[in-house]
Amino acid sequence: MHLNRIWISVCFTTMLLVGHATAADTPKVAIDKAQVLEQKAADKESVAPLPPSATITKAEVQAVDPVGAAPVDDAITCLSRTIYWEAKGGTTADMEDVANVILNRIGHEGFPGTICEVVKQGAEKKACQFSWWCDGRSDQVQEDDRYTIAKDIARKALNQQIKDRTGGAMYFHDKKVNPSWAKEYIKTTETDTFLFYKPRDGKAK
């Protein structure tokens, strides 16, 4: 009986250690997958079903930056935080459209090749493409429920599970504003919240 108890105790301890290691490794696994998927986007490979091992699961993405307070330095966090800050007041469709604008930029002429580089583009000149990154305010999340939605949309976008309803747009703005740059581009579509555009000659300015 004594030996059995020792054996059970050893097995239980081992299970706890393995579980802890797996949980600790989850963010890195998800980030690695995100980097692979954004590279596929940059290479403009054909959109084919991804093998299960390559997809980012809901549990994995929720383990990355769970409270919206981590540094913005990996694909999932950069995409999630941009979706959140640019469209948290809109519908789920609005948030998905913002995600597609970011993915449409990756690797396109005139834009960087990774999500974080796309999101932070122009920061060195204080002329950010996405205003939330240069507005001088805290980038930490304020509404947990909206950020949870943003993270799930980021996961699906990276997994190529969201249809691009923007018509290949690479720019957008809120309908409440009328930026001068909009005249330089072709309007592709609009929603109740946003107007979307793409370059006239296919090149980013």
Q: Is residue 181 part of a domain?
A: yes
Q: Are 110 and 204 in contact (CB under 8 A)?
A: yes
User: 128 lies in a domain?
Assistant: yes
Which of 23-37, 67-81, 151-165 is predicted with the least confidence, judged by mean pLDDT? 23-37
Give how many domains the chain has, as a whole number. 1
**205 belongs to a structural domain:** no
End-to-end CA distance of the chain: 76
Token output for 61: 């993405």
pLDDT at 13 over 90: no
Number of helices (H) and strands (E) in the chain: give both, helices first: 6, 3
Higher pLDDT, 53 or 187: 187
Domain that holds residue 124: 2-199
Q: What is the model's pTM?
A: 0.82
Q: How confident is the model at residue 23 (pLDDT cuts 50, 70, 90)?
A: very low
Q: Read off the pLDDT of residues 170-197 as tens digits, 9 standing for 90 and up.
A: 999 999 999 999 999 999 999 999 999 9
